Chains A and B, each alone.
Chain A
Amino acid sequence: GEDVEQSLFLSVREGDSSVINCTYTDSSSTYLYWYKQEPGAGLQLLTYIFSNMDMKQDQRLTVLLNKKDKHLSLRIADTQTGDSAIYFCAESMRTGGFKTIFGAGTRLFVKA
């Protein structure tokens, strides 16, 4: 079945790079995403990548996709305390309509 796995916690120092990893099982994924959720808030789409791409860069964010290994990563350069949040990896596929499967989320702690 469809599943998305990611580690639960990551702690980095302010100014360092953060790398959050994710693996997924469904090779028919169309899009892969990274969402950010701050405490008590909704889901904010950070970035997404189409499944036929290898890499996408957007300012401090770099997404790498290894389709062969079904591995997705999010690198945040120059991590700031404001980046502390839960980061969800997700994949979507078309089965009639579209549906999105989320990972459990990685809680990023940024130490000053």
Chain B
Amino acid sequence: EPEVTQTPSHQVTQMGQEVILRCVPISNHLYFYWYRQILGQKVEFLVSFYNNEISEKSEIFDDQFSVERPDGSNFTLKIRSTKLEDSAMYFCASSESEARFAEAFFGQGTRLTVV
């Protein structure tokens, strides 16, 4: 069964460092998303991406965040200078098309710990 793969599963970084979270969406999917879940809190939408550009982003997704599809298979989330409050589980998701948006598949998540 196709799946969204995220690496690493857990990343620990020092405050102020840059991190890159990686995702490999399902191969024929065209729409990509990042969400985060701070421990004990809601899952929050960060950004959606289609056709090599951001199609929607939340107020959380400020200048510290960026996304990229550097090649045909990876989709990355970069946090330039991490803060303690960036500690969360980050989920990548992908969907085949807008018409099938509801059937977005989520990865297992990357737990980011900023110390």
What is the interface of chain A, defined by CB distance below 8 A to chain B? 30-31, 33, 35, 41-45, 48, 50, 88, 90, 92, 95-105
B58 contacts partner chain A, Cβ-Cβ < 8 Å: yes
Per DSSP, chain B at the interface is strand
B65 within 8 A of A: no
Interface size range of chain B in the complex: 20 to 34
**18 A–B contacts from the bound complex (CB under 8 Å):** A30-B102, A42-B107, A42-B109, A43-B91, A43-B106, A45-B103, A45-B105, A48-B103, A50-B102, A88-B43, A96-B56, A97-B50, A98-B98, A98-B101, A99-B45, A100-B33, A104-B42, A105-B42
The 7 closest A-B pairs by CB, nearest first: A97-B55, A97-B56, A102-B43, A42-B108, A97-B48, A43-B106, A31-B102
Q: Closest CB-CB distance, B5 to chain A, in whole Å?
A: 11
Picked from A30, A42, A92, the residue with its CB within 8 Å of the CB of B91 is A42
The residue that B108 contacts in the complex, of A31, A41, A101, with Cβ under 8 A, is: A41
B68 at the interface (CB under 8 A from A): no
